[in-house]
Structure 1
Amino acid sequence: MSDRDSLAEYRRKRDFERTAEPEGKIAAGKIAAAKPARSKSPALAFVIQKHRASHLHFDLRLELDGVMKSWAVPKGPSVDPAVKRLAMEVEDHPIEYNSFEGTIPSGEYGGGTVMLWERGTYGYGGDGPDPMEGLHRGYAKGDFKIVLQGERLKGSWVLVRTRRDSRGKAQWLLIKHRDEHAREGADVVAEYETSVTTGRTMDEIAGGAKPKKQARPTARKAVKPVVKKAVETAVKKASKKPAPKKRT
């Protein structure tokens, strides 16, 4: 299925004359750009949006093939490996949706308040030699192993497909693997009640309050400045070292 086809349902459900949600463009360039060396997992974008629509839930979105594969997680993620969270797969979203925070008008699909609750990058969590092949194979098989590098969530996770409902929609379970980032009994959803980008609560977003902190670029866009700074620092240190003495 092409990227254009995979976003058709997303566009069909929305009236972009009324909603501020992005219409979305084909991110074909990202497919080629994301192809890594066989031994290295790519850093693909992920976000989690807290969404107060007809029911409060969290939307997990993982970049794959130029779009954001998306799941509605009613109770949100859990960092306790003993807790399995239902995740209902929904239509693919455009990558531009990763920066959306605001209010969807009443009467529109998903009408309500949307908060950017988490963001970062993710990579392949399996042990196959080709990370992108592993991600595609895992998603197709319903055993999607990932490693999150977010601001609030980190470490190894898995999405396990359990069944499809009467409409053909896939239901999955989102499970935290046991690692140094797992916390038994923790309620990470209750710990963080503000936007990861603007510091606003759901009520403040709904009321149109101004951001409390400047939104930083997404982790993907922030990579280049970080690398550039590291290189500049290394060059400065090297220039300060005294030249080696000549042997006589």
Structure 2
Amino acid sequence: MAGNSGKIRKSTSTRSLAQYHGKRRADRTPEPIGGGSPKGGRRRFVIQKHSATSLHYDFRLEAGGVLKSWAVPKGPSTDPRDRRLAMRTEDHPVDYLDFEGIIPPGEYGAGEVIVWDTGTYRNLAEDEGKKVPVAKGVGEGHVKVWLEGEKLHGGYALTRTGQDGERERWIMIKLSDEGADARRNPVSTEPASVRSGRTLDELPEDGEHRQRS
């Protein structure tokens, strides 16, 4: 039975990644092509700072065998008064949690990528006292999680607010808890990668960080 459920999860995640694969040429980009499997223990998250057509932060939550993803133009805030736009993007493979490098010119998402923050998270969303799985919450338009990252700590809520063409528009809000701090502005004061210590401008051109994880 357990083996069958594993096959079902793998099949579902494969279908979920069809859009991701359709946008990328595996022989041209250093990005992960997929195939990684979720590890045991607490689910992980990553926030990748991405200098593409415009600078933004990609927020990704491990759920349902993939990374549920949003592009946050201004990056996450630690001030509960801020409402940050978060545009839903295609699911990414779990391997993408560790990706840091340079996507070549001419490829989808071309530009520099660093792991701005990463860690584990726990699901806070409930309905009548029962946990709502994150993957289900994404489909229903509401996600609430507690992050334990190297830069970010505490609760965050994401709520779908509408549609821009084919893309879903969400709002990302910091919850009022011990991790809230209106005086902090980590996207400005802490620009470097938690993985390599490099900023976007410091990524090597020699391919050192351009290999798939």
TM tier, shorter chain?
0.7 to 0.9
Structure 1 vs Structure 2: percent identity of aligned residues?
44
Higher relative contact order (CA 8 A, sep 6+): 2
Max Rg structure: 1
For 1:209 and 1:4, the matched residues in 2 are separated by 28
CA RMSD of aligned residues (A): 2.1
Cα drift, residue 24 of structure 1: 0.5
Structure 2 residue 30 is matched with structure 1 residue 20: yes
1:105-127 C-alpha deviation (Å, 9 max, x unpaired): 00000000001100001111134
One-letter identity of the residue aligned with 1:78? S
- Preserved CA contact (<8 Å) 2:120 2:147: yes
**1:103-142 correspondence runs (5 A):** 103-127=102-126, 129-131=129-131, 133-142=132-141
Amino acid of the structure 1 residue aligned with 2:25: D
State the TM-score, normalized to the length of structure 1.
0.74
Distance 1:134 1:54 in 2: 33
Provide the C-alpha distance between the structure 2 equivalents of 1:170 and 1:206, rounded to a whole number of angstroms.
34
Contiguous gaps of at least 5 residues in structure 1: 35-41, 212-248
Deviation at 1:70, TM superposition (A): 0.5
User: When the two structures are superposed, what TM-score results if normalisation uses the length of structure 2?
Assistant: 0.86
| Residue type at the aligned position of 1:195 | S
**Residue 37 of structure 1: aligned partner:** none
Contact residue 57 and residue 71 of structure 2 kept, 8 A: yes
1:176 pairs with 2:144: no
Q: Cα offset for 1:193?
A: 1.1
Q: Quick check: which one's strand share is greater?
A: 2
Q: Is residue 68–residue 135 contact of structure 2 (8 Å, CA) maintained in 1?
A: no
CA distance in 2, matches of 1:140, 1:123: 18
1:5 aligns with 2:15: yes
Work out which of the residue numbers 182, 186, 196 in structure 2 matches 1:188: 186
Equivalenced residue count is: 198
Q: Could you tell me which amino acid in structure 2 is paired with residue 86 of structure 1?
A: L
Counterparts in 2 of 1:4 and 1:136: CA distance versus 1, 3 Å:
closer
1:134-187: per-residue Cα shift (whole Å, max 9, x none)?
4344323212111001111010110011011222x1110010000011011421
Residues 1:160 and 2:159 aligned together:
yes
More helix by share: 1
Q: Which runs of 5+ in 2 are unaligned?
A: 1-10
